[in-house]
Amino acid sequence: MLAYILIALGAYLLGSIPTGFLVARARGVDIRTVGSKNMGATNVFRVLGKGPGIFVLLADALKGWGAIALTRFMIQSHYAHAEGLNEVAAPIVAGLFAILGHIYTCWLKFKGGKGIATSAGVMIALVPWALLASLVIWLVSFVATRYVSVASIAGSAVLPVATWLTTHDLMLTGVTSLVAALAIYKHKGNVQRLRSGTENRFSFKKKDIAT
């Protein structure tokens, strides 16, 4: 039990690193007050440009992948606290808490990003083929609409189905269903803006920070 608590805590703290906030702060910008006011890679891309946006995207994904990779390393290296850990359940715990850390970061009053990039990092480690199918749907939806929110919701929705079709594993399908539901829930504000016609389409041009 102690081992699972340590994994959950470590994964949460890794996931809670507010990458977008720190990158923007280094540029003298509080990312929570500009653009969509979200700390994710999309808003960083819009406000600060391609370089910072790609960095935040990769760093946030690495948090999810890293939490699982470190857990598997602990198990394989027979680390003392890793005794009794299930080789399937322990990485899942690490992945879920890394995502929760990103969404509810303790460093910023438990207000973080939407968790899409970190979830992608987790899925790379757990269900890579299902993630590939999800990314294809994301890309098709994005090209068709140029709404990142629509693409993220569509990609999230297809993830559990793709997981079942590629693994036939009930536990993994349940986990990806939970992750997908959380990701869609975090886009509730985007859904409201889509309904009202005020959601911004993605542009590859950097926006004025003052807007």
Cα distance between residue 83 and residue 62, in whole Å = 26
Both tokens assigned to 78: 């027979």
The pLDDT of residue 170 is 95
The two counts, helices (H) then strands (E), for the chain are 10, 0
- Looking at the predicted structure, is the pLDDT value of residue 211 above 50? no
202 against 33, higher pLDDT: 33
Q: What stretches of 27-127 show up as alpha helix (H) in DSSP?
A: 41-48, 50-76, 89-103, 116-126
Which tens digit of pLDDT belongs to each residue from 44-94? 999 999 999 999 999 999 999 999 999 999 888 877 666 778 888 999 999
Q: How far is CA 160 from CA 19, 97, 182, in A?
A: 27, 19, 12
pLDDT band at 197 (very low <50, low <70, confident <90, very high): very high
The pLDDT of residue 132 is 97
Within a 10 A sphere around the Cβ of 159, how many other Cβ atoms? 27
| SS3 of residue 78 by DSSP | coil
- Looking at the predicted structure, is the pLDDT value of residue 107 above 60? yes
Which tens digit of pLDDT belongs to each residue from 112-129? 999 999 999 999 999 999
The pLDDT of residue 3 is 84
The pLDDT of residue 85 is 85
The pLDDT of residue 77 is 84
Task: Give domain limits for the chain.
Answer: 2-196
The pLDDT of residue 80 is 60
Across 2-24, average pLDDT: 95
Residue 63 near residue 118, CB atoms below 8 Å: yes
Across 153-170, average pLDDT: 97
Cα distance between residue 91 and residue 69, in whole Å = 8
Radius of gyration of the chain (CA): 17
Across 190-206, average pLDDT: 86
Residue 48 neighbours by CB under 8 Å, 6+ apart:
23, 24, 27, 29, 206, 209
Across 198-207, average pLDDT: 78
Across 158-163, average pLDDT: 97
Residue 41 near residue 20, CB atoms below 8 Å: yes
- Looking at the predicted structure, is the pLDDT value of residue 183 above 70? yes
Across 6-14, average pLDDT: 96
- Looking at the predicted structure, is the pLDDT value of residue 210 above 50? no
The pLDDT of residue 79 is 72
Which tens digit of pLDDT belongs to each residue from 131-147? 999 999 999 999 999 99
The predicted model scores a pTM of 0.90
Cα distance between residue 158 and residue 154, in whole Å = 6
